[in-house]
Amino acid sequence: MRAFLAMPGNETMAADLAERTSRALIPLETRRFPDGESYVRIVGDVAGLELDIVCTLARPDAQFLSLVFAAAAARELGAARINLVAPYLAYMRQDKRFKPGEAVSSTHFASLLSGLFDELITIDPHLHRRRDLGEIFSIPTRVEHAAALLADWIAAHARAPLVIGPDSESEQWVAAVAKRAGAPHVVLSKTRLGDRRVEVAAPDLSAFAALQPVLIDDIISSGRSMIEAARQIEAQGLSKPYCLAVHALFAEDSYTALQQAMARIVTTDTIAHPSNGISVAELLAAAVRRD
Ligand code: R5P
């Protein structure tokens, strides 16, 4: 028997997955003690179950201990297997020690999750300098990709689109999305100067002046990559771009800033956000069904 359990904020996705896979949803009770510590109670019998804990990991620090307690409690209560369904996987970007003494947090975070769960299911982790999650996780991992969903949204909603990636490292991914959407593509070149500072340079886009620019990226965090890209595109006389992303992190006031820079903003629901317009539920349900 297999069932889902939703960490706080993941109830909608977990209920959707439970319905799509005809599996039970085990209730979880959580609250904060007056001193801020976390209370977690699994309200149901998990003995012998294969349990899929749904927890997207945006802003992980505030929720990580509750997740640890839920997984540990499920294990103590006899769950036969505990998987983590994390539509967004956090802490993937620090994959290298840039300055002496820095924690390579992607490795440490992966090792913590590997100690708690039997398997991880996620969508488009930001691999960057790594080939696959097996380099840092010691448990099996299943990675699903939202590229086709983005492409199909573009084909259905953008008239004469030009698909644009904000940096050259996204070239292959952008090319695949554009090909499926039946659109041309270009990539810009991005230099990161700090957490909230990037410089973006664009090639000559005059051949595409009549097309609707559609910027795509895996993550929007500070929003600076997208905003600088939009600035370069408009400076060349093209229309205000559409902006599509898989993971809607939207740090601080970035969503408001992006709304001014973009004609439309659409994201997948790996992280719940008002910009969500593309559902990944079927991707995740298919991954869960594939035993
Ligand atoms: C970086 O390599 C990623 O693909 C994104 O471009 C980046 O995380 C976006 O960050 P921000 O929104 O802070 O510019």
pLDDT in tens, 208-266: 999 999 999 999 999 999 999 999 999 999 999 999 999 999 999 999 999 999 999 99
CATH 3.40.50.2020 fits 2-145+280-290, yes or no: yes
Domain residues of the chain, as ranges?
2-145+280-290, 147-269
Q: Residue 127: what residue type?
A: L
pLDDT digit string, tens, across residues 161-216: 999 999 998 999 999 999 999 999 999 999 999 999 999 999 999 999 999 999 99
The CA distance from 194 to 226, in Å, is 15
CB atoms within 10 A of CB 169: 14
pTM here is 0.96
Give mean pLDDT, residues 72-98: 97
CATH 3.40.50.2020 fits 147-269, yes or no: yes
Q: Residue 220: what residue type?
A: I
Q: Which residue(s) pair with 189 in the sheet?
A: 201
Q: Which DSSP state fits 185?
A: E
Give mean pLDDT, residues 282-291: 92
* Encoded tokens for 276: 């969500």
> Ligand 1, closest atom to CA 190?
6
Q: How far is the CA of 127 from the centre of ligand 1 (A)?
A: 12
Can 2-145+280-290 and 147-269 be said to share one CATH topology? yes
Place of tokens 């969503």: 255
pLDDT at 281: 98
Q: How far is the CA of 219 from the centre of ligand 1 (A)?
A: 5
Contact indicator for 205, 233 with CB cutoff of 8 Å: yes
Catalytic residue among 99, 179, 190, 240: 190
